[in-house]
Structure 1
Amino acid sequence: MRLLADSLRARITILVIGFCVLIAAIFTLAVHFAHSAYNDELRQQQGLQFTRNVAWMYPELGKLEHIRREQIETRFEQMLLLEPSSALYLIDNQGRVRVGYSKQRSIGGSSHVALAPIRQLLDNPGGKIVYGSDPDFPGMKCLFAATPIYDGKVQSGYLYMLMRPPETNPGQLLASSYANRTALLVAFGASILSALFVLVVMAQITRPLRRLASAADQVRAAGIEDIPDPASFPHQDRRDEIGHLSRAFRDMVQRLHEQVQRVRRMDATRRDWVASISHDLRTPLTSLTGHLETVILRGERLDKAERERFLQVALKNAQHLDRLSASLFDFARLDSDAMRLEKVPTHLGELIDDIAQRFAPAAETRGVHIDSSYPDVLPLAEVDAALIERAIANLMENALRYTPTGGTICLTAQPRDGGIALILTDTGAGIAAADIARVFERFFQGSQQREGRGHAGLGLAIVKRVAELHQGHVRVSNRTEGGACFTLWLPLNEAE
Structure 2
Amino acid sequence: MKQTKSLFRHFLKGHFLFIFLPPIVLIFLSAFIESPINGEELNALNLFYFVLLLFGFIIVAFVVISWIFFLRLRKRLTRLQEVMSFSANHNSFPRPISVQSDRMDEIDQLGSSFNWMIQQLENSRKREYEEELLRHRLIANLSHDLRTPLTILRVHVTRLNKESMSLEGQNSLSEMNHTITRVGDLMDDLLSYTLLTSGKHPFRPTSTDIGRLVRASVAAWYPVFEEKEIQIDVDLPTEETLYWEADPKWMTRVLDNLFQNILRHAAEGKYVNIVVDVEKEQIIVADRGPGMDNSSYERGAGIGLSTSNYMLKKMKLKADFTSNDNGTRVAIGRA
In the alignment, which residue of structure 1 is the partner of 2:198? 336
User: In the alignment, which residue of structure 2 is the partner of 1:323?
Assistant: 185
Selected match of 1:400 from 255, 259, 263: 263
- 2:235 paired with 1:373: yes
The total of aligned residue pairs comes to 237
Map 1:23-422; keep pairs closer than 5 Å: 172=35, 178=47, 179-184=49-54, 288-293=151-156, 302=163, 320=182, 323-336=185-198, 340-375=202-237, 376-416=239-279, 420-422=281-283
Post-superposition shift, 1:429? 1.9
Deviation at 1:389, TM superposition (A): 0.5
> 1:346-402: per-residue Cα shift (whole Å, max 9, x none)?
332232223223223332343321222123311344421111010011111122222
Alignment-derived partner of residue 458 in structure 1:
303
Q: Quick check: 1:288–1:314 contact (8 Å CA) kept in 2?
A: no
Contact 1:407 1:427 in 2 (8 A): yes
Partner of 2:329: 485
1:472 aligns with: 317
Deviations 1:235-254 (A, max 9, x none): xxxxxxxxxxxxxxxxxxxx
Greater C-alpha radius of gyration: 1
Q: 1:334 to 1:24 in 2, by over 3 A?
A: farther
Q: Does 1:15 align with 2:11?
A: yes
Q: SS at 2:311's partner residue? A: helix
Aligned 8 A contact 1:356 1:371 in 2: no
Q: CA deviation at 1:428?
A: 1.4
Q: SS in structure 2 opposite 1:367?
A: coil
CA shift in 2, pair 1:476/1:295, >3 Å: closer
Cα distance in 2 between the residues matched to 1:334 and 1:319: 22
Q: 1:21 to 1:313 in 2, by over 3 A?
A: same
Cα deviation digits, residues 175-232 of structure 1 (max 9, x gap): 87724445556778x79x99xxxxxxxxxxxxxxxxxxxxxxxxxxxxxxxxxxxxxx
The alpha-carbon distance between structure 1 residues 185 and 285, as it changes in their structure 2 partners (threshold 3 A), is same
Q: Secondary structure at the match of 1:393?
A: helix
Q: Which amino acid aligns with 1:424?
A: V
Q: Structure 2: where are the runs of 5+ without partners? A: 24-33, 64-127, 165-169
What amino acid maps onto 2:307 in structure 1? I
Name the TM-score, length of structure 1 as normaliser: 0.38
Spell out, residue by residue over 1:263-304, the C-alpha distance to the aligned partner (whole angstroms, 9 max, x if none): 9xxx9xx9xxx99xx89x97x8766434535778x9xx957x
**Aligned partners of 1:394 and 1:174: how far apart in 2?**
101
Aligned to 1:426: 287
> Aligned partners of 1:456, 1:405: CA distance in 2, in Å?
16
AA in 1 matched with 2:241: L
Q: Where is the helix percentage greater, Structure 1 or Structure 2?
A: 2
Alignment TM-score, normalising by the size of structure 2: 0.52
For residues 174 and 338 of structure 1, what CA distance do their matches in structure 2 show?
Answer: 90
Contact 1:367–1:407, Cα closer than 8 Å, also in 2:
yes
1:282-332 superposed Cα distances (whole Å, 9 cap, x missing partner): 7x8766434535778x9xx957xxxx9999989867755553343233323
Structure 1 residues 312 and 449, CA, compared in 2 at 3 Å: closer, same or farther? Answer: closer
Cα 1:185/1:343, change in 2 over 3 Å: closer
The Cα of 1:23 is off from its aligned counterpart by: 7.1
* CA separation of 1:294 and 1:334: change in aligned 2, threshold 3 A: closer
1:377 maps to a residue whose letter is E
Closer, same or farther in 2 for the Cα pair 1:20/1:183, shift >3 Å? farther
Residues 342 and 383, structure 1, Cα contact 8 Å, conserved in 2: yes
1:287 and 1:313 map into 2 onto residues whose CA distance is 14
- Asked if the contact 1:356/1:370 (under 8 Å) is kept, the reply is no
Q: 2:38, 2:291 → 1: CA distance?
A: 99
- Assess, with a 3 A threshold, how the Cα gap between structure 1 residues 406 and 335 changes in structure 2: closer, same or farther: closer
Unmatched segments (≥5 aa) in structure 1: 28-170, 195-262, 433-445, 492-496
Structure 1 residues 24 and 407, CA gap change in structure 2 (3 angstroms): farther
Using a 3 Å threshold, how does the CA distance of structure 1 residues 470 and 25 change in structure 2: closer, same or farther?
Answer: farther
- 1:316–1:406 CA distance, 2 compared to 1 (3 A): closer
Question: Would you say the 8 A contact 2:317–2:333 is kept in 1?
Answer: yes
- Native 8 Å contact 2:261 2:301 kept in 1: no
- Distance, in Å, in 1 between the alignment partners of 2:200 and 2:35 is 80
State the AA in 2 paired with 1:422.
I
